[in-house]
Each structure stands twice: as structure tokens, then as C-alpha cells.
């Protein structure tokens, strides 16, 4: 049976790191003591090299999606079996579609199949849901009649018409946004958890085989001051090391992450952590991901920390080994825009996790090289303007040269952007058993063959300014009594159409307590509806 | 009432010159207001009234496309009555029992514009047919107007505070719904476990939860209960956890917090209402009262003494506790040391305080 684990990028990274353990000393000061003195010396030398080599990417390749599709996220997989990475894209589409795109191995994509939906689909995952050996797509339709659906995989990279596996009869939850799949009850098939954006909960459906699902459990988000939490994305991983798949999610409205542990096939109540205070602000947390950042064998959590006044930040919630995350380390993110998406990946094969970030207003894709793991310190190398809201970014080897390339989407601009990684790879054992390093010469040749102006890197951060926030963003969307970064995160997360010029020209106002009078007049229902759409 | 409030502004804008017509005489009559039908009038009473005030021909000739369009504009959120029993899940908004539908859609907007899901059905089961009540509150007033956020825990840029706990606490106050939501946070911080008993009575459906952890987290809701409406005082008795912990009173049920239908009824002097503002609207009263007391750790039955009855309860609960089973603070808790099992260590604690 197909394991659901292989669809999760952090596991791919973990596999890559496992392959490249000899390079793990770079930026991992804490692991020096486990190595022999000779290896330490080599490690120090390698670290020095790693710290000096900037991340470099080739010219961007863009694929524009059809109107009026508003992409929200994607998953990468070789759908049609041609050895090249393809895409499945979820989105908010008045024409009710999900899209699959065929990759050409060079970062370009062409339409493969249009899948029908009923309502917006903010998330999708690949998994063999029916156990037939073919990969399926599982997604959730948002809207007034929410449903969890499976598009069964067919031969040749096609998918069948959707099968509704959970509707309101099974308690699918209000406005399902995020999806996580995994064998949560350890019975051999793939189960589903969805986040209920308006329902403030997570709904767990167990797969009984043959696409027959039952609702097992609802896990409510914890309370925070009475505002809306608006849970968004979910990732799975064995957080507490007990051998089963736990959940981590973020709450857009609460500026929090939720950790939900799996205990013998049932989930505990959410344990929630707040983003740390940055200056005088509490950040908005627009995503939450898992990765073993410090290489200590357990999964840590990292999240983009959207702030209004200062440099954007990334928060590392460090796992103490038991699934608790009391230690929070703040690293610098993009120095412009409002960070919305982030991905840690070893982009230079030096054994540590570098970072790519997607921002809004202005839309930016930025690459940050790890300088010190323990301090969560990065140096921003690449900086590329891209649309107005980079909703999702990821790193995959789409060109088959054994290093991780960038794939990202701009929601309002309906665009996929890819950039080939041409960073000199470190470590003899890195990516694809050393092929990354061996391919260095090829990549350098490739770089030289590109017109110089097409390699857009290292734009001085100071030359970028932050676009003013539209007035629409400055509203107490989560209804907690203040307008702050969480509200901006909710607003960005709720966009479903292009940002208009007029919206961007509005002069920003500082974060302030919400106008109580206006708030009294505001219908809660209208608010919730608006945020959901 | 709710529907008229919602549609008032839009109606005023659209119906200039049309309002002068006489009120329609045929509302409600069979036929969905959102669908064209050959007969005049429609079945959602307030929507029918609104549309026919706008265009009297809708109630005298036929329910035409114009009437449907007007209904969709004027009657947003009007879904009562609609097909489907109120206590049964169904895919359309609203339900068949008008009064129940009106009540639930007022408290839960999702049931108005989306589907009648399990939460709508649960709320109908819990609340429909239950008469609201008025309580005579006693105790120290919490001194928090329901438009202020003083006892609502921690927030950003707000005065973050909790009501201090004492062993002989008697308080009263109000809560309100809407944005932002008013809650009451009772501080139960301590270095050791202790047994406390709270008794609440309220004019609104109670959502009560016990949350562990400080402002920055980790925060974990240890247990959560929803108390029935207007069934008199309700008691919870539980052992607090060491560290920072909070008992939170709000309105809702165990599945969902209410954020609609309970407007604050006090005037905020900083933002007094304007003449055209609708008056505060609440389907239930806003008042609550509570008492709190401390019990001996081993006083499992809460009768004020540690004795044979407590021993019986402890022995009856002997063994490992099922971690998947929800803790119910309305049931005796014999895990005195909080180790997830009732055993010798708990027995020792009980005997020590016999």
C-alpha cells in the first residue's frame, strides 16, 4: 500500500538529510560533539564554505493559470509517471475547478486535467485513499455545503470524477480549509482530518476501506479571548515519538499553533502555543510546518510570523523531545512585505535547512541561507518580486539534478513561478547520493549560458519598501477586540480575487484598537462569512 | 425582529417611494420566497412582508422573478421556515419549525445561510421549546460593563485580567456576545492541586471550560462542558492543576461558542448609540451568578468531610483512567494526585485526610 508519508515534503527533506548526514555539521553547532575530532575539523571547514556560498537560482519560469482561478496551494508529484514532477493545484474558483498540470522538468507546466468541484477548494493532498495502488487526490469543498471528496487516480495520470466521502451527515465541519491525511488509527489505510475554518475545530474521519469513512472525533480549538481562531493548515508527523501521526495546525485569527497528539488512534485536545511578542506586536501565524531543524531526531515546528511594524520573522517552536514546544526562537524573515508562506529546505546540501519565504504586499519570493541553526540565523540571498501574495512556496527537485528547486504561487496573479536551484552544492554525500555535487559543473555551465540579467538574486533588501495595507485589511476580522497582525493574516488568507489598484493605494493606518462603535454595527455573521470567502 | 433589523437599512435604500403602500395581507402563504411561483405571497413571513412592502404586486398577482430578486436582496438570512425537521441534519438552511428556526438562526448564522448541520440540529435539540428564564442575581458584582474587556483573559493591547479566586467567592455579572465576545475568566493559579467547586446559574446557555497554561502557552483546555438552559444552578467540581489555570465562562454549548444573538444591553459612553441604531437585541438574558468554594483534596463527593463515601468512590474508580474518555467535572474525580490512575497513592492521600 502506498504510504501517505511520501507525499509530505518535510519527510522528503528528512530523507535527503538522512542521505547527507556527513554534511550535517554545517550550522549544527550542537552536533559537533558526536563527531570525531577529525570530522569536526572537516565540518568547520565545510561550515565556513557553506556560510560564504550564497543561494543562487536561475531565471524564473512562470505559468499563468486560467481566469478566474485563484490558486491557494499545490502539491507536487509525478502524476503521469514520466519521471517529471507535476502539480495538482487547489484554489478558489467561481468556475469550480481543481487543476492538474504536467511538468516539463525545466520548471514549466502545461494543463493536464481540469477536475470539477463544488465550491472553493483551499487544500488538497495526494494519497492512495482506496488502496488500489494508484494515487488519488483528496480535497475538501468549502462553501455552504461542505464536503470531503476523493478524486480517484486512473492510469495515465488522470483522475476520475469526485466521490464525496464525507458530507454534513458525517459532520464534515463548517468551511473545511486544511486537510491532513495519514494512517491515524494504524489500520493500514489512509484517514483524513480537516480543519473547520468557521467551526473552529478539527474533524477526524477514519477510512474503513472502499472509500467508506466515518467521523471519529471533533477536536475544538482552544479558546483565546473569545475571538475567532480560524484554523487553517494541518501537517502530520510523529511529534512525540510514540510511533503514530500527530497533528500540528495554525490558527490565522489566534496567531497560534495547535499541537494535537494522537493517542492510540484518538486525538487529544489541542495544546496551543502563541507566537512570541515581537517588539510590541503579537504576530499573525499564517502557517505551521514540521521539520527537524536542529537535527536532534524530533520534529520541530516552524511558522511565518507576520508583523506590521518590523522585519518579518520566522518562529521556531523547538521540540523538547516529548512533543512540547515551550522554547520559541525567532529568526529574521523577509525584510519587506508581510510574510505568509515559508518552507525550510536544504538548498545547498550542506546539511542544514535553509529557508524560502513568500510574502504579500509586495509579493516577494525570498531565499535565506542558514548561517546558524542554534540561533535560527539566516542570511537573505535571493529576492524576487512576484505578484502580490505568495500564498504557498515549496522546494522540490523538479529538474532531476538532485538539488531542491523553488516552486511557488501567487494567488491574486494566478501564477506558478519556479526557479531552478543553481547553488553550488556542499558535501560529497549530499542529494541523490552525491550527484548534486557532481552536477555542480553542469549547473555552473548552465548559469553561464544564461543572460546575466535573467539571474535575479541578491537584490538589496533596503531597496524594497512595504506596500501600504489596504483599509480592508485593517479590520478586526477575528473579532478579538483589536486590529493587529492576526487580522492581516486572516484578511490575506481570505482573499479570493486579485488585489485591485485602488485597494493598494489606500494609506495605511497604524494598528489600533478597533472602533467599537463600528464593531457594534458589524454583523458577526457577515464578518465570519467574509473571512471565510 | 432580527430579520427586520438586518434588512432595515437595505430596505430603506431600495424602497424609496414604495414604503407608502399598505402592508400586504397575504403573508405567509405557501411557496418559497426564493423561488418563482404563480401564486402571490410566500412562506417566510418576514421576507414575504418585506418584499410585498417593496413591491405590492408580489402579494397581489404572483411571486415573479422580480419578487425573487427582491427577496434575495432584502431577505438575506431569512430561511425560516424551510424544509427539514429542526433536530435533524439536512442540506438546506433553516428548518420547518418557525419558532425554533428563528431562535437557532439568530444564535448561529451558519444555520441561516448554509446548511442545517449537526451543530444546528444539536442546538435545536438543546434550546427549542425551552422557555427563557430570569434569575435574581446575588453576590459581588464583577464591575465589568459588558462592552468592556476586563475579565477576558489575555489579549494584545488590552487590559488583560482574570477574576481572582477565593474560597468563598460569590459573584454576579453579565456577559455579551458579538465582536468582541465577552467572557469571564476566573484565575485558579496555584502551586498544588486543590479541589474546588463552582456553582453557576445563568439566563443564557453556559459554555464552561477549564484551561491550563499561561498567556504565551502552552494552553490546553482540560475539559469543557455545556450546561442546559434554565435548569437552575449547575455545579462543577474538579481538581485544579498546578501552575496557571483558568475557568472560563461564556455562552455556547460544548461544541460551539455563541457569537450572535446576545448584544450587550449597556450603553458605552465613549460610543453612545446614534438615533438610527437599532436597540440591543438578545434572545436570552445576559446575567449570571456564581459561587465558589474550596474542598478538601480527598472530599470526592463534596459533602464537606472525608469519609467512607469518598473511600467508596475511590475504590469504585480504582485502576487506570481511560485517556480517551472526556473528563466530566460533574462526576466525582478520584485521581487525587493526577497521575492518570486511581491507586494506592490516591488511597494514601485520602486516608491521610480522613
Flag if B271 and A517 touch (Cβ within 8 Å). Answer: yes
Looking at the partner chain, which of A169, A226, A525 has a beta carbon nearest the beta carbon of B250?
Answer: A226
Tell me what the mean pLDDT of segment B285-305 comes to: 93
pLDDT at A359 over 60: yes
Cβ within 8 Å of B, A 187-246: 198-201, 218, 220, 222-228
Is residue A358 within 8 A of residue A392, CB to CB? The reply is yes
Give the model confidence (pLDDT) of A4-38 as tens digits.
333 333 333 333 333 332 332 233 333 333 333 33
Please give, one letter per residue, the 3-state secondary structure of A69-83.
Answer: CEEEEEEEECCCCCC
How many angstroms away from the CA of A98 is the closest CA of chain B? Answer: 22
Give the model confidence (pLDDT) of A394-410 as tens digits.
999 999 999 999 999 99
pLDDT at A58 over 80: yes
Contacts of B268 in chain A (CB under 8 A): 516-517, 520
Flag if A226 and B257 touch (Cβ within 8 Å). Answer: yes
pLDDT on residue B9: 36
Give the model confidence (pLDDT) of A316-330 as tens digits.
999 999 999 999 999
Looking at the partner chain, which of A168, A269, A522 has a beta carbon nearest the beta carbon of B115?
Answer: A168
Is residue B228 within 8 A of residue B126, CB to CB? The reply is yes
Tell me what the mean pLDDT of segment A357-377 comes to: 94
What's the pLDDT band for B293 if we cut at 50, 70, 90? very high
Is residue B90 within 8 A of residue B115, CB to CB? The reply is yes
E strands, A398-514, in order:
405-410, 415-419
| DSSP bridge pairs for B319 | B342
Is residue A249 within 8 A of residue A232, CB to CB? The reply is yes
Looking at the partner chain, which of B115, B211, B271 has a beta carbon nearest the beta carbon of A516?
Answer: B271
Query: What percent of chain A lies above the pLDDT cut of 70?
Result: 76
C-alpha to C-alpha distances, B200 to B37, B70, B173, B247, B290, nearest whole angstrom:
51, 46, 11, 12, 4
Give the model confidence (pLDDT) of A462-495 as tens digits.
446 778 888 888 899 998 888 899 999 999 999 9
Query: What percent of chain B lies above the pLDDT cut of 70?
Result: 91
Side-chain half-sphere exposure of A274, counting CA atoms within 13 A: 24
pLDDT on residue A460: 45
pLDDT on residue A527: 42
Flag if A224 and B153 touch (Cβ within 8 Å). Answer: yes
Tell me what the mean pLDDT of segment B42-61 comes to: 89
Alpha helices in B58-109 (DSSP H): 65-74, 98-107
pLDDT at B1 over 60: no
Looking at the partner chain, which of A326, A481, A515 has a beta carbon nearest the beta carbon of B149?
Answer: A481
- Which residue did the predictor score with more confidence, A211 or A523? A211
φ, ψ of residue A531 in degrees (nearest 5): -70, -25
Tell me what the mean pLDDT of segment A347-372 comes to: 94
Cβ within 8 Å of B, A 9-28: none
What element of type H or E holds A138?
Answer: strand A136-141
pLDDT on residue B353: 87
Give the model confidence (pLDDT) of A414-462 as tens digits.
999 999 999 999 865 455 655 655 554 444 444 444 433 333 444 444 4
Phi/psi zone of residue A132: left (φ > 0), alpha (ψ -120 to 50 degrees), beta?
A: alpha
Exposed / middle / buried, residue A427 (Cβ in 10 Å: 0-12, 13-18, 19+): buried
CB-based contacts of A421: which residues, under 8 Å, 6+ apart? A55, A56, A57, A58, A347, A401, A403, A404, A405, A406
A169 contacts chain B (CB < 8 A): yes
Give the pTM.
Answer: 0.85
Quickly tell me which residue has 505578484 as its cell: A387
Contacts of A198 in chain B (CB under 8 A): 110
pLDDT on residue A433: 59
Q: Between chain A and chain B, how many beta carbons pairs sit less than 8 Å apart?
A: 160
Tell me what the mean pLDDT of segment A216-238 comes to: 88
Q: What is the DSSP string of A324-366?
A: ---EEEEEE--SSSEEEEEEEE-SSSSSS-EEEEEEETTTEEE
pLDDT on residue A431: 57
pLDDT on residue A511: 32
How many angstroms away from the CA of A415 is the closest CA of chain B? Answer: 31
pLDDT on residue A529: 43
pLDDT at A60 over 80: yes
What's the pLDDT band for A177 if we cut at 50, 70, 90? very high
Contacts of B215 in chain A (CB under 8 A): 274
Phi/psi zone of residue A297: left (φ > 0), alpha (ψ -120 to 50 degrees), beta?
A: left
Order of strands, sheet of A390-396, starting from the edge strand that comes earlier in the sequence: A61-64, A415-419, A405-410, A390-396
Q: Which of A264-273, A416-425, B173-182 has the lowest mean pLDDT?
A: B173-182
Tell me what the mean pLDDT of segment A259-266 comes to: 94
Give the model confidence (pLDDT) of B299-340 as tens digits.
999 898 999 999 999 999 899 888 777 888 988 888 998 888
Give me A15's grid cell.
Answer: 530523507
pLDDT at B89 over 90: yes
Give me A330's grid cell.
Answer: 525567532
Cβ within 8 Å of B, A 128-167: 143-146, 167
Is residue A94 within 8 A of residue A491, CB to CB? The reply is no
Q: Give the span between the Cα atoms of B112 and B120, in whole angstroms.
A: 9
Query: What percent of chain A lies above the pLDDT cut of 90?
Result: 65
Flag if A269 and B220 touch (Cβ within 8 Å). Answer: yes
pLDDT on residue B16: 33
Flag if B178 and A524 touch (Cβ within 8 Å). Answer: yes
Closest chain B residue by Cα to residue A516: B271
pLDDT on residue A47: 43
pLDDT on residue A358: 96
Looking at the partner chain, which of A168, A174, A224 has a beta carbon nearest the beta carbon of B91?
Answer: A168
pLDDT at B88 over 50: yes
E strands, A197-288, in order:
201-207, 213-220, 231-237, 246-251, 256-260, 262-263, 266-267, 271-274, 284-285
Among residues B256, B154, B208, B94, the alpha carbon closest in space to that of A196 is found at B256
pLDDT at A282 over 80: yes
Looking at the partner chain, which of A144, A228, A256 has a beta carbon nearest the beta carbon of B115?
Answer: A144
Order of strands, sheet of B184-187, starting from the edge strand that comes earlier in the sequence: A231-237, A246-251, A256-260, A271-274, B219-227, B206-212, B245-251, B184-187
pLDDT at A508 over 60: no
Flag if A481 and B155 touch (Cβ within 8 Å). Answer: yes
Q: Tell me what the pLDDT averaged over chain B comes to.
A: 86
Tell me what the mean pLDDT of segment A492-513 comes to: 61
Amino acid at each position: 500500500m502506498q504510504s501517505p508519508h511520501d507525499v509530505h515534503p518535510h519527510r522528503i527533506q528528512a530523507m535527503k538529510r538522512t542521505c547527507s548526514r556527513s554534511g550535517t555539521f554545517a550550522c549544527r553547532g550542537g552536533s559537533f560533539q558526536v563527531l570525531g575530532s577529525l570530522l569536526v575539523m572537516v565540518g568547520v571547514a565545510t561550515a565556513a564554505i557553506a556560510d560564504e556560498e550564497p543561494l543562487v537560482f536561475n531565471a524564473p519560469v512562470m505559468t499563468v493559470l486560467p481566469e478566474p482561478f485563484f490558486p491557494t496551494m499545490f502539491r507536487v508529484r509525478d502524476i503521469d509517471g514520466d519521471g517529471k514532477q507535476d502539480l495538482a493545484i487547489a484554489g478558489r474558483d467561481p468556475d469550480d475547478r481543481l487543476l492538474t498540470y504536467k511538468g516539463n522538468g525545466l520548471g514549466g507546466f502545461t494543463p493536464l486535467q481540469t477536475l470539477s468541484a463544488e465550491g472553493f477548494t483551499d487544500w488538497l493532498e495526494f494519497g492512495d485513499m482506496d488502496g488500489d495502488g494508484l494515487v488519488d487526490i483528496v480535497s475538501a469543498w468549502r462553501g455552504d455545503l461542505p464536503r470531503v471528496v476523493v478524486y480517484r487516480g486512473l492510469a495515465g495520470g488522470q483522475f476520475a470524477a469526485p466521490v464525496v466521502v464525507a458530507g454534513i451527515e458525517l459532520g464534515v465541519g463548517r468551511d473545511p480549509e486544511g486537510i491532513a491525511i495519514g494512517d491515524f488509527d494504524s489500520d493500514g489505510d489512509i484517514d483524513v482530518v480537516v480543519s473547520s475554518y468557521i467551526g473552529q475545530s478539527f474533524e477526524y474521519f477514519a477510512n474503513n476501506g472502499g472509500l467508506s469513512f466515518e467521523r471519529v472525533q471533533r477536536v475544538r480549538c482552544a479558546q483565546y479571548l473569545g475571538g475567532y481562531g480560524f484554523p487553517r493548515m494541518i501537517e502530520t508527523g510523529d511529534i512525540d515519538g510514540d510511533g503514530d501521526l500527530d497533528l500540528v495546525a495554525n490558527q490565522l485569527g489566534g496567531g497560534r499553533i495547535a499541537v494535537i497528539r494522537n493517542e492510540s488512534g484518538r486525538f487529544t485536545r489541542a495544546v496551543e502555543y502563541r507566537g512570541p511578542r515581537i517588539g510590541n506586536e503579537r504576530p499573525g501565524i499564517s502557517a505551521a510546518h514540521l521539520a527537524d531543524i536542529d537535527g536532534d531526531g524530533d520534529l520541530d515546528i516552524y511558522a511565518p510570523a507576520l508583523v506590521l511594524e518590523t522585519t518579518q520573522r520566522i518562529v521556531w517552536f523547538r521540540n523538547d523531545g516529548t512533543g512540547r514546544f515551550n522554547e520559541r526562537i525567532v529568526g529574521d524573515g523577509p525584510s519587506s512585505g508581510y510574510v505568509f508562506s515559508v518552507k525550510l529546505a536544504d538548498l545547498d546540501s550542506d546539511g542544514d535547512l535553509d529557508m524560502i519565504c513568500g510574502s504579500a504586499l509586495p509579493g516577494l519570493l525570498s531565499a535565506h541561507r542558514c548561517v546558524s541553526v542554534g540561533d535560527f540565523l539566516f542570511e537573505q540571498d535571493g529576492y524576487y518580486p512576484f505578484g502580490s501574495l505568495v500564498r504557498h512556496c515549496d522546494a522540490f527537485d523538479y529538474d532531476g539534478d538532485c538539488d531542491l528547486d523553488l516552486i511557488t504561487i501567487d494567488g491574486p496573479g494566478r501564477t506558478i513561478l519556479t526557479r531552478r536551484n543553481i547553488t553550488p552544492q556542499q558535501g560529497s554525500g549530499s542529494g541523490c547520493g552525491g550527484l548534486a555535487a557532481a552536477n555542480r559543473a553542469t549547473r555552473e555551465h548552465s548559469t553561464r549560458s544564461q543572460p546575466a540579467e535573467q539571474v535575479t538574486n541578491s537584490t538589496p533588501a533596503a531597496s524594497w519598501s512595504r506596500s501600504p495595507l489596504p483599509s480592508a485589511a485593517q479590520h478586526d476580522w477575528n473579532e478579538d477586540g483589536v486590529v493587529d497582525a492576526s487580522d492581516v493574516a486572516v484578511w490575506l488568507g481570505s482573499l479570493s480575487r486579485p488585489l485591485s489598484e485602488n485597494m493598494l493605494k489606500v494609506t495605511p493606518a497604524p494598528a489600533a484598537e478597533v472602533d467599537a462603535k463600528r464593531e457594534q454595527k458589524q454583523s458577526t455573521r457577515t464578518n465570519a462569512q467574509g473571512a471565510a470567502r | 425582529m432580527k430579520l427586520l433589523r438586518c434588512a432595515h437599512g437595505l430596505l430603506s435604500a431600495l424602497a424609496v417611494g414604495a414604503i407608502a403602500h399598505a402592508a400586504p395581507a397575504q403573508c405567509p402563504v405557501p411557496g418559497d420566497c426564493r423561488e418563482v411561483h404563480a401564486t402571490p405571497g410566500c412562506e417566510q413571513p418576514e421576507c414575504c412582508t418585506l418584499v410585498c412592502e417593496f413591491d405590492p404586486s408580489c402579494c397581489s398577482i404572483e411571486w415573479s422573478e422580480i419578487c425573487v430578486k427582491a427577496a434575495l436582496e432584502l431577505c438575506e438570512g431569512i430561511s425560516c421556515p424551510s424544509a427539514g425537521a429542526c433536530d435533524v441534519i439536512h442540506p438546506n438552511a433553516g428548518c420547518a419549525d418557525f419558532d425554533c428556526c428563528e431562535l437557532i438562526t439568530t444564535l448561529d448564522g451558519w444555520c441561516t445561510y448554509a446548511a442545517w448541520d449537526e451543530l444546528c440540529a444539536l442546538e435545536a435539540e438543546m434550546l427549542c421549546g425551552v422557555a427563557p428564564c430570569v434569575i435574581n442575581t446575588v453576590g459581588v458584582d464583577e464591575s465589568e460593563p459588558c462592552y468592556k474587556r476586563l475579565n477576558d483573559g489575555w489579549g494584545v493591547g488590552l487590559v488583560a485580567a482574570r477574576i481572582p479566586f477565593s474560597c468563598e467567592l460569590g459573584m454576579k455579572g453579565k456577559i455579551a456576545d458579538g465582536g468582541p465576545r465577552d467572557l469571564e475568566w476566573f484565575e485558579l493559579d496555584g502551586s498544588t492541586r486543590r479541589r474546588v467547586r463552582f456553582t453557576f446559574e445563568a439566563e443564557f446557555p453556559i459554555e464552561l471550560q477549564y484551561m491550563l497554561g499561561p498567556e504565551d502557552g502552552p494552553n490546553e483546555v482540560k475539559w469543557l462542558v455545556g450546561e442546559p438552559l434554565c435548569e437552575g444552578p449547575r455545579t462543577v467540581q474538579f481538581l485544579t492543576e498546578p501552575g496557571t489555570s483558568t475557568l472560563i465562562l461564556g455562552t455556547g454549548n460544548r461544541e460551539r461558542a455563541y457569537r450572535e444573538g446576545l448584544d450587550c444591553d449597556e450603553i458605552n459612553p465613549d460610543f453612545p448609540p446614534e438615533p438610527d441604531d437599532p436597540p440591543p437585541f438578545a434572545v436570552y438574558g445576559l446575567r449570571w451568578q456564581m459561587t465558589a468554594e474550596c474542598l478538601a483534596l480527598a472530599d470526592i463527593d463534596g459533602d464537606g468531610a472525608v469519609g467512607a463515601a469518598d473511600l467508596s468512590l475511590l475504590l469504585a474508580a480504582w485502576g487506570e483512567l481511560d485517556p480517551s474518555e472526556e473528563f466530566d467535572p460533574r462526576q466525582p474525580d478520584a485521581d487525587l494526585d493526577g497521575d492518570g490512575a486511581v491507586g494506592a497513592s490516591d488511597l494514601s492521600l485520602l486516608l491521610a485526610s480522613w
